[in-house]
């Protein structure tokens, strides 16, 4: 019996290990390949891109994890010779931080109203919100575009930030999180004479911290990777965020691709590592999977 | 306890993540702030100037050497040796003035012989007249006819002899002297006393017709002039002064190569400048009647043209030339990833005029505030990034 249980645990471990390895492989490959020389990468990936004599004979891409010669030259090249990368990196920060901060603030207040206040039409309004959330971006693109143009925000950061600040996902997630909080805290506070402001600020908000952390991470990842919004609302290339950078890299810069990818995902990874526990807790309470 | 340990581990990990994140953003920030400067250090450095609206006085200076309009060589047709040379080089002579006297001895002797022969014929004539009178008294028709023929024949001989003497006398007068055919100045005396010459003895310049010179001037400047116009010419030398010349001929210059090596014309273009003034030129002939001028004297023509109107003035160094025409390199500012970046923009311009320092270009659609590159640390190309 014990043996069977251990065996099943072992099998489960192996299975999850395999899945984890499969998930980790692209990231690991990106990191290790970013430390390879351009020549080594050209050889490994000769099958991709322009057909040469060498690539014509190759049948598979050579996915190597261990570099022949570890070098940071790709990073140096990326940072030294391609200032566009740095500019796009800060563009991303410039777009994503206000969106995340704005949407978190708006979502927290709106979620409090949906979760804790009782007013006529609350549930209907929330349903409408949910409907807009499930609509894909492409469906709301035209009205969004028209509104942005009317507001005179076209080709400015505001064209991306403003719709992001009023995103529905944050409201939905925080509302779910707040709804899971026991009402006894707020009832007790109310009995002690606390108003909505005080209840929100001193009771609900501290309790929602894990949910907010989870929201921040999910929003950051979502908007850090956005492609359509900047492509549609921004005309100038130097306003583009980093998520569009890879499109500008040429075939001869494979090493730069890997280096750029590593630097691109680093903020997300760091944010995840920092707030991992909050994320798990937040998702658990809100019942939402990212 | 376990919760505390777990919390401690979590805090440690958070601190590490914060340190890594700080490093990551710090490095990127450093690179953002300084990479532009580092890249900038490798770019060609340029010096610029902004063109200013205004006009430019374009000066043209051309020098040339004078040559006579009419100079003739006077020959000795008698073939005799000169006995007396009266003209000296540089003498101003009048029309008909005696220049060289030649040996008359041979001609005089021949004349004397011919005169003697004439006397002899005249003596024979008396005898024949008498013979004819005697024959006429008789009735012999043949004798009369013969006497008359002899007399007529002698008359013809006498006439021919007289003409021969007359010719010799003329020759003696004309061919033993060399006189000036027109008023002028003796530019060269080639005859040597008592030595027969085969060529010209005297070279005489017609001072009435004066001197002339040819010069090439830019067509746009020549457009202000026409044949017959007076033009100020400066004589070069110790006593430089302005004299008046007159344009006698203007024609389009057929080619760049000049058939007058002495002539030089310049738009004040420094020799170091590779640019060639490939402008349309006009060949102008100017005549000067000032009698004090000599052939070979250097003269200079100075022309000034104001390149006014809608023109912009900029340094001459800023204007370059290729096979398509004149161009300037302007600095174009483009918003770059890490602030403004400056690129070279090649723009063709219409040059209105230029002097040794400045060039006037047509304003056209040119912006006054555009910075034009005057100097650069490296040769530039269109689209190249620069720093300044």
Residues of chain A with pLDDT under 50: 289-290
Dist CA A70 CA A33 (whole Å): 9
Together in a domain, A59 and A120: no
Q: What is the pLDDT of residue A6?
A: 86
Instruction: Choose one of A49, A71, A93: the last residue of a domain.
Output: A71
Mutate to test the interface with A, among B5, B6, B31 (most CBs of A within 10 A): B31
Instruction: Tell me whether residue A21 is in a domain.
Output: yes
pLDDT digits (tens, 9 = 90+) for B189-206: 888 888 887 788 888 888
Q: Decide if the complex's ipTM is over 0.90.
A: no
Together in a domain, A88 and A24: no
Q: Which two tokens stand for residue B78?
A: 């008698």
Q: How many CA atoms lie within 13 A of B289 on its CB side?
A: 6
Number of domains comprising chain A: 2
State mean pLDDT over B68-80: 82
* Residues ≥6 apart with Cβ < 8 Å to A226: A95, A160, A241, A243
Together in a domain, A141 and A33: no
Strand partners, B315: B358
Inter-residue contact A282 to A214 (CB < 8 Å)? yes
Dist CA B97 CA B90 (whole Å): 14
Q: What is the pLDDT of residue B266?
A: 45
Is B33 part of the contact surface with chain A (CB cutoff 8 Å)?
A: no
Residues of B in contact with A84 (CB under 8 A): 337
Is B23 part of the contact surface with chain A (CB cutoff 8 Å)?
A: no
Together in a domain, A67 and A117: no
Together in a domain, A98 and A156: yes
Confidence of residue B354 (pLDDT cuts 50, 70, 90): confident
Strand partners, B283: B216, B251
Does the CA dihedral A39-A45-A46-A50 come out positive or negative? negative
Q: What is the pLDDT of residue A290?
A: 46
Dist CA B343 CA B385 (whole Å): 4
Is B4 part of the contact surface with chain A (CB cutoff 8 Å)?
A: no
Contact B32 A90 (CB under 8 A): yes
Label the pairing between strands B319-322 and B325-336. Answer: antiparallel
Contact B24 A267 (CB under 8 A): yes
Instruction: Choose one of A71, A100, A125: the last residue of a domain.
Output: A71
Instruction: Tell me whether residue A77 is in a domain.
Output: no
For residues B332-369, b (16+ Cβ closer than 10 Å) or e, as one string? eeeebbbeebbbbbebebebbbbbeebbbbebeebeee
pLDDT digits (tens, 9 = 90+) for B16-62: 999 999 999 998 888 888 877 777 777 888 998 888 888 777 777 88
Which architecture characterizes domain B59-69+207-307 according to CATH? Beta Barrel (2.40)
* Residues ≥6 apart with Cβ < 8 Å to B232: B242, B243, B244, B245, B301, B302
Residues of B in contact with A87 (CB under 8 A): 32, 336-338
Residues of B in contact with A236 (CB under 8 A): 335
Instruction: Tell me whether residue A79 is in a domain.
Output: no
pLDDT digits (tens, 9 = 90+) for B247-263: 888 888 765 444 343 44
Together in a domain, A252 and A132: yes
Helix, strand, or coil here: A102? helix
| Helix runs in B59-184, H state only | 105-137, 141-174
Domain B42-55+310-386 class? Answer: mainly beta
Together in a domain, A273 and A223: yes
List the one residue out of B117, B285, B167, B158 whose CA is nearest residue B216: B285
pLDDT digits (tens, 9 = 90+) for B89-131: 888 888 888 888 888 888 888 889 988 988 888 888 888 888 8
Residues of A in contact with B31 (CB under 8 A): 79-80, 86
Inter-residue contact B60 to B210 (CB < 8 Å)? no
Q: Which range has the worst mean pLDDT, A111-125, A187-201, B212-226, B266-280?
A: B266-280
Q: Where are the domains of chain B?
A: 1-41, 42-55+310-386, 59-69+207-307, 72-189
Rounded alpha-carbon distances, angstroms, from residue A253 to A49, A82, A242, B162? 11, 11, 16, 117
Instruction: Tell me whether residue A78 is in a domain.
Output: no
Inter-residue contact B304 to B59 (CB < 8 Å)? yes
Instruction: Choose one of A17, A47, A71: the last residue of a domain.
Output: A71
Give residue A175's domain range.
84-286
- For the domain that residue A225 is a member of, what is the CATH number? 1.10.3720.10
Instruction: Tell me whether residue A96 is in a domain.
Output: yes
Q: How close are the terminal C-alpha atoms of chain B, in Å?
A: 65
pTM greater than 0.80 (yes/no): no
Task: For the beta carbon of residue A288, count every other beta carbon within 10 angstroms.
Answer: 17
């Amino acid at each position: 019996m014990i043996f069977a249980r251990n065996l099943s645990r072992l099998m489960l471990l192996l299975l999850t290990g395999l899945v984890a390895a499969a998930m980790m492989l692209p990231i690991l490959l990106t990191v290790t390949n970013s430390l390879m020389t351009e020549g080594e990468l050209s050889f490994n990936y000769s099958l991709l891109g322009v057909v040469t004599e060498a690539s014509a004979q190759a049948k598979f891409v050579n996915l190597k994890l261990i570099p022949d010669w570890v070098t940071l030259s790709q990073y140096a090249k990326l940072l030294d010779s391609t200032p566009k990368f740095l500019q796009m990196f800060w563009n991303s920060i410039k777009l994503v931080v206000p969106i995340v901060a704005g949407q978190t603030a708006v979502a927290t207040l709106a979620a409090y109203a949906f979760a804790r206040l009782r007013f006529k039409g609350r549930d209907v309004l929330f349903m409408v919100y949910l409907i807009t959330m499930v609509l894909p971006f492409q469906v709301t693109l035209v009205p969004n575009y028209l509104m942005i143009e009317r507001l005179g925000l076209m080709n400015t950061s505001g064209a991306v930030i403003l719709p992001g600040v009023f995103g529905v996902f944050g409201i939905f997630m925080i509302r779910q999180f707040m709804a899971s909080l026991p009402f006894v805290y707020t009832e007790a506070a109310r009995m002690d004479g606390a108003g909505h402001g005080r209840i929100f600020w001193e009771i609900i908000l501290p309790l929602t911290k894990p949910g907010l952390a989870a929201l921040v991470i999910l929003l950051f990842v979502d908007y850090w990777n956005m492609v359509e919004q900047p492509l549609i609302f921004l005309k100038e290339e130097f306003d583009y965020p980093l998520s569009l950078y890879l499109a500008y890299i040429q075939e001869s810069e494979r090493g730069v691709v890997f280096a750029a990818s590593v630097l691109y995902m680093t903020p997300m990874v760091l944010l995840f590592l920092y707030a991992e526990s909050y994320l798990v807790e937040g998702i658990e309470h809100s019942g939402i999977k990212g | 306890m376990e919760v505390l340990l777990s919390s401690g581990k979590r805090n440690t990990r958070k601190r590490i993540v914060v340190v890594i994140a700080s490093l990551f953003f710090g490095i990127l920030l450093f690179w953002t702030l300084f990479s532009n400067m580092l890249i900038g250090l490798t770019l060609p450095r340029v010096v610029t100037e902004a063109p200013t609206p205004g006009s430019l006085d374009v000066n043209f200076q051309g020098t040339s050497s004078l040559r006579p309009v009419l100079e003739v060589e006077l020959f000795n047709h008698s073939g005799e040796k000169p006995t007396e040379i009266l003209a000296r080089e540089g003498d101003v002579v009048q029309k008909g003035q005696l220049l060289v006297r030649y040996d008359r001895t041979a001609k005089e002797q021949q004349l004397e012989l011919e005169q003697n022969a004439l006397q002899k014929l005249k003596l024979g004539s008396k005898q024949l007249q008498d013979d004819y009178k005697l024959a006429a008294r008789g009735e012999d028709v043949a004798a009369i006819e013969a006497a008359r023929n002899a007399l007529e024949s002698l008359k013809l001989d006498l006439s021919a002899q007289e003409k021969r003497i007359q010719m010799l006398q003329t020759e003696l007068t004309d061919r033993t002297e060399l006189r000036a055919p027109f008023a002028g100045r003796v530019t060269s005396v080639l005859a040597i006393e008592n030595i027969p010459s085969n060529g010209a003895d005297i070279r005489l310049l017609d001072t009435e017709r004066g001197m002339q010179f040819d010069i090439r001037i830019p067509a746009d400047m020549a457009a202000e002039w026409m044949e017959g116009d007076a033009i100020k010419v400066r004589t070069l030398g110790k006593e430089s002064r302005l004299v008046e010349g007159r344009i006698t001929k203007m024609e389009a210059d057929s080619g760049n190569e000049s058939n007058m090596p002495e002539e030089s014309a310049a738009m004040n273009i420094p020799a170091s400048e590779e640019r060639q003034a490939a402008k349309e030129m006009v060949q102008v002939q100017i005549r000067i009647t000032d009698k004090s001028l000599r052939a070979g004297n250097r003269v200079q023509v100075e022309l000034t043209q104001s390149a006014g109107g809608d023109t912009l003035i900029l340094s001459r160094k800023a204007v370059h030339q290729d096979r398509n025409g004149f161009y300037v390199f302007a600095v174009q500012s483009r918003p770059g990833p890490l602030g403004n970046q400056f690129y070279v923009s090649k723009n063709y311009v219409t040059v209105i005029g230029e002097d040794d320092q400045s060039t006037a270009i047509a304003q056209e659609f040119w912006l006054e505030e555009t910075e034009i590159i005057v100097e650069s640390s490296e040769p530039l190309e269109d689209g190249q990034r620069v720093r300044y």
